[in-house]
Structure 1
């Protein structure tokens, strides 16, 4: 997928330029901090930027707060915040990343691109003052570990968007041993083995 494909996803030229700026910063900082795997640097645009951008079309239309947990280098949180700047200016993004060096990078991008975003350099479980519309995570943890975070951070009617690889089915089976939830599975546009799990109505199975 190329920047032309992003135009097909209704991404403007200005937004693509901002995403390019972020992409370049991501690669520059990765030489000092492990923001993305070194093996993916050469195709970081498709593997990371476009892969994250595909979540934007799944955001609820009236969402005003998105929380990205374990943000790392800002994937998908910063990508979505950049896309929201023009298309969804009321959407605030909160990036939770406990690694102080990565949080410093996230704050630098937020400042440089004037994003409607906030960075919290804390552990996810310590955040207790949020009730958001959307929770996102990419390559953070298995689904059974993500669900309690999502439930704690989301409004009851909120939605979680989790990007998973070919083990998505096994993670769903494992998660259902302790959790009840509704799920819609979307194919990834960038990875034939990838899946996007759109999860709602999360509750403990014993409730």
Structure 2
């Protein structure tokens, strides 16, 4: 299925959403379209494909979460991908959205308020993020090279040896894994993306120094 054929109804059907969760996504979508006129939340050429390119792309990683995952750190959340999408799908998650851009944080707070879902928003650079919480899973989408994401997560990895990074990566995924292995030892599972044939979902665990 091509993005142009994948709208709200297709998204709802693909994920078998309850009416309540679909309504939250509809609110989110409306806010995204409205705020995009003021600030650059997403690439303008994907605005017509939000349900597929952003919502569905983000949603696909939830299936790879450990069953006992509760605390999540979403790095470089931007417009809320994947963190806010995951929170709507599983409201029980303790979701921490890390974003340095104050305007994007204001957008995320608005989405949180309008959907009635509590998330913790950390308006600071990833390198300085508070260690007041320890996540079970770190997520990121189109943010940084794998070795940098592992570095960013190191403070949490020292406290939680079961920490997993579940990442949406593009066509350079294999290359990034190779580069990261020069610095770190880790286990990685690589899965095909549901939205792009050249993209991958990486699940990284058991991180140590090479």
Alignment TM-score > 0.5, same fold: yes
Root-mean-square deviation (Å): 1.4
Equivalent residues, number: 201
Give 5+ residue unaligned stretches, structure 2.
1-5
Tell me, yes or no, if the aligned pair for 2:11 and 2:52 is still in contact at 8 Å.
no
- For 1:52 and 1:70, the matched residues in 2 are separated by 13
Q: How do 1:68-83 and structure 2 match up within 5 A? A: 68-83=74-89
The answer to which structure has the higher strand fraction is 1
1:136 and 2:139 matched: yes
Q: Runs of 4+ in structure 1 displaced over 4 angstroms?
A: none
Pick from 165, 174, 184: which aligns with 2:170?
Answer: 165
- Pairing 1:194–2:199 present: yes
Indicate if the aligned counterparts of 1:160 and 1:198 stay in contact, CA closer than 8 A. yes
SS at match of 1:57: helix
Name the counterpart of 1:108: 110
Aligned equivalents of 1:13, 1:189: Cα separation in 2:
23
User: Residues of 1 paired with 2:176 and 2:12: CA distance?
Assistant: 30
Question: Residues of 1 paired with 2:55 and 2:20: CA distance?
Answer: 15
Structure 2 contact 72–138 (Cα < 8 Å) conserved: yes
Structure-1 separation of matches of 2:201 and 2:189: 8
SS in 2 for 1:54: helix
Flag structure 1 segments of 5+ consecutive residues without an equivalent: none
- Structure 2 CA distance for aligned equivalents of residues 82 and 19 of structure 1: 7
TM-score by length of 1: 0.92
Q: Deviations over 1:52-92 (max 9, x none)?
A: 0111111211111111011011000100011112xxx2x21
